[in-house]
Structure 1
């Protein structure tokens, strides 16, 4: 029997005698010389997986994210469900007992960060601090077999409303500097379970990449008085790397992508606060997300991918950093140059990628708009 990567990790790690594995807390470490961050979390190797053996998937009846299996997860802390013509959001004990849910959010049983940790701070070349934070699962649909590209616009609105609610709540928690919602779709992209879901992780400090975005924005404002992200969007929205645009959003393949067919979704306006986006804009975001995910799925034959929301912290918001979405299809493996030097070899130019994705995404957008007018 061929074991998957998760099973190999579980066989490799030997837990200390007398220590419960679910009490082993992670720690956040920094590289000797650079600001590269690493979370050490051996507990993650104990996650259940749908990919343990080649060609053998977990039966739907045992999926912890499916309706009817709620007892297999921690209690829900946020639930969006249908009540007549209204969509209601429940929290706390009310959420725990809600039935017929549309989106369900609960704590990850195998978190990479925790609010309970005994790790001590250390400075110097062996820098470390507690991997303090919150780690949530947000089940994006009650339908087990539904791919992200198959989720309808209305359900994406439900997901985005729930996400907005959770991110707003998390940014008010003490010790939270950055909230990072993301999707891992497919084993190659890091998913362990098939049922569509998002993860939301908070960190006690701002990751170097997002910190670089803040500093670059501040420097550009000082030097030119202009927003560089607005200037980039004006250029890309009418150039050869554009994909599609809706009323409030535009999508394009970036100039220097780290992944083949990578694309970004940016607000058209100078928007720095996802938390205050009105329902009309969330609906428009759902429309462009559905269109581009379907376009990518059709063009690339349902590839594994990662999707991440860049949602600025309060500090970054003061620098007017745009919130946005980035999507990374996982079509090629990174090798020595990428991993050792952080120099990325891309076998598909963003201009070629945009030409492919634009056609299928525009076709899906046209279909959705036409159907909405008929309804």
Structure 2
């Protein structure tokens, strides 16, 4: 059973999820790189092993052999059936682990990545992101939808098969709230968008520019927190991923594939 617990010191809510320890792993005892096959009989995400995952929430194409499948995370920290009712436990506060957790299986081949897939396949991954983003955002209990992808065991990946994840939560983490507050403060003080201003500065400077397309600008941020950190910002002033246009989605697929393929 999962639950959100309130930290009295930091005012953060953290998820306690013991079920996550039961999830399978391709990396137990693995310390050296290995050749990854196109198919793994033991992989729940490979074609023919669909019975090892929950039924698909989304798939492309709709019939026949699939290129992309989206399924609920079998070992999710969050579940849409859990309660949002807050419960006092001594001095502490908690509530059920409500939320959604999807897995986007990006390709049928076990040894692919977003950088090696065709641009058309990456576009369909982006379309799957948007479809699930729109669906999850429609739930009034959801305050934040997060799309993320880990690569390699050191980043937290437990399965080799190419996949991303989407989680939808009933609250916004402290770090994200702080970022939102800073962008609002910047706008109130200077009358402009901090992301638009950063993008203009990076285009003008050029030293950290990675890629510029019709709809996006990619660059290494001036104050990077880690090596190879890269931002991809839309040229159109828009903060909602669900509002992305098809031409922008195609351009985004091109940008992501190009950068990850370098």
TM-score, normalised on structure 2? Answer: 0.91
- Residues 66 and 142 of structure 1 are in contact (CA less than 8 Å); yes or no, is this contact kept in structure 2? yes
The number of equivalent residue pairs is 256
| Number of the residue aligned with 2:75 | 110
Q: Tell me, yes or no, if structure 1 residue 250 matches structure 2 residue 226.
A: no
Offset at residue 236 of structure 1 (A)? 1.4
Offset at residue 77 of structure 1 (A)? 1.3
More contact order relative to length (CA 8 Å, sep ≥ 6): 2
| Number of the residue aligned with 1:365 | none
Deviations 1:36-64 (A, max 9, x none): 33211010000011012336889701211
Q: Tell me, yes or no, if structure 1 residue 143 matches structure 2 residue 119.
A: no
User: Which runs of no fewer than 5 residues in structure 1 stay unpaired?
Assistant: 1-24, 82-89, 91-97, 296-375
Which structure 2 residues correspond to residues 1-375 of structure 1 after superposition, within 5 A?
A: 25-54=1-30, 60-81=40-61, 90=62, 98-117=63-82, 121-122=86-87, 126-239=92-205, 240-295=207-262
- Residues 31 and 125 of structure 1 are in contact (CA less than 8 Å); yes or no, is this contact kept in structure 2? no
User: Which runs of no fewer than 5 residues in structure 2 stay unpaired?
Assistant: none
Question: How far apart in 1 are the matches of 2:13 and 2:140?
Answer: 21
The SS at the match of 1:180 is strand
Question: How far apart in 2 are the matches of 1:187 and 1:158?
Answer: 26
- Residues 2 and 97 of structure 2 are in contact (CA less than 8 Å); yes or no, is this contact kept in structure 1? yes
Offset at residue 108 of structure 1 (A)? 0.7
| Worse overlay, 155-164 or 275-284 | 275-284
| Number of the residue aligned with 1:310 | none
TM-score, normalised on structure 1? Answer: 0.64
**Bigger radius of gyration:** 1
| Worse overlay, 269-278 or 181-190 | 269-278
Question: How far apart in 2 are the matches of 1:183 and 1:28?
Answer: 23
The SS at the match of 1:282 is helix
Question: How far apart in 2 are the matches of 1:35 and 1:230?
Answer: 31
- Judged with a 3 Å threshold, the aligned counterparts in structure 2 of structure 1 residues 29 and 257 are, in CA distance, closer, same or farther, namely farther
| Worse overlay, 257-266 or 124-133 | 124-133
Identify the structure with the greater helix proportion: 1
Question: How far apart in 2 are the matches of 1:226 and 1:181?
Answer: 27
The SS at the match of 1:105 is strand
Offset at residue 285 of structure 1 (A)? 0.5
Deviations 1:135-191 (A, max 9, x none): 111101111111232112111100011110100000011311101111011000000
The SS at the match of 1:243 is strand
| Worse overlay, 176-185 or 239-248 | 239-248
For the aligned residues, what is the CA RMSD? 2.0
Question: How far apart in 2 are the matches of 1:181 and 1:210?
Answer: 14
| Number of the residue aligned with 1:356 | none
